[in-house]
Amino acid sequence: MSSKAEAVTALELEAETPLSEGMKAYFAKCEEKLGMVPNVLKAYSFNSQKLEAFVAFYNDLMLADSGLSKLDREMIAVAVSSVNQCYYCLTAHGAAVRQLSGRPELGEQMVMNYRAADLGRREKAMLDFAVLMTENSAAIEEEDRQELRDAGFSDRDIWDIAAVASFFNMTNRMASATDMRPNPEYHAQAR
């Protein structure tokens, strides 16, 4: 990688060439829809199998049918990333919260402290659970799951909340460990 400013991570890993046809098409779709290929995808492109596994799991968690909205899932990503102080995910998913909510201030509040945001009981319960998972998952008890049920979540929804929070705990750690840099475009989105 030529300079720190252009680097995707602090690691010097060469992208596998060529990408599979599926990943070429996926990168093209990202360019078309987002105007960029997210740096997390570029970071994983040193190994096609890892890239494809990451993309498949991300798409399943964040885009597939769920009782959780896309905004719910992005808010979980930001709340978890805030606890973990993950610069990449706070920047990228904070932008997604701004865009999906149509409320730029919500994205900023979520990045700093979701408890400062004007959230309903449902969202607060969901984020409280995701943060508890992040800070002390061994302390989770049935009453924590029941709080989610009382806020209107099904057991399937609870699974999805846990899966999204778990995924971002993993990706936050990878991004921090490799000094993954967010695309500059995220900073200006939905402001």
pTM: 0.94
Cβ neighbours for 179, distance < 8 A, ≥ 6 positions apart: 9, 10
| Separation of alpha carbons 73 and 66, rounded Å | 10
Taking 70 as the pLDDT cut, the residues of the chain under it are 1-5
Tokens (6 digits) for 186: 């995220």
Model pLDDT, residue 3? 46
Model pLDDT, residue 79? 98
**How many other C-beta atoms are found inside a 10 Å radius of the C-beta of residue 156?**
11
Model pLDDT, residue 17? 76
| Separation of alpha carbons 2 and 65, rounded Å | 41
Tokens (6 digits) for 38: 């997210």
Model pLDDT, residue 7? 85
| Separation of alpha carbons 78 and 130, rounded Å | 10
Domains within the chain, CATH numbers bracketed:
21-63 (1.20.5.810), 70-188 (1.20.1290.10)
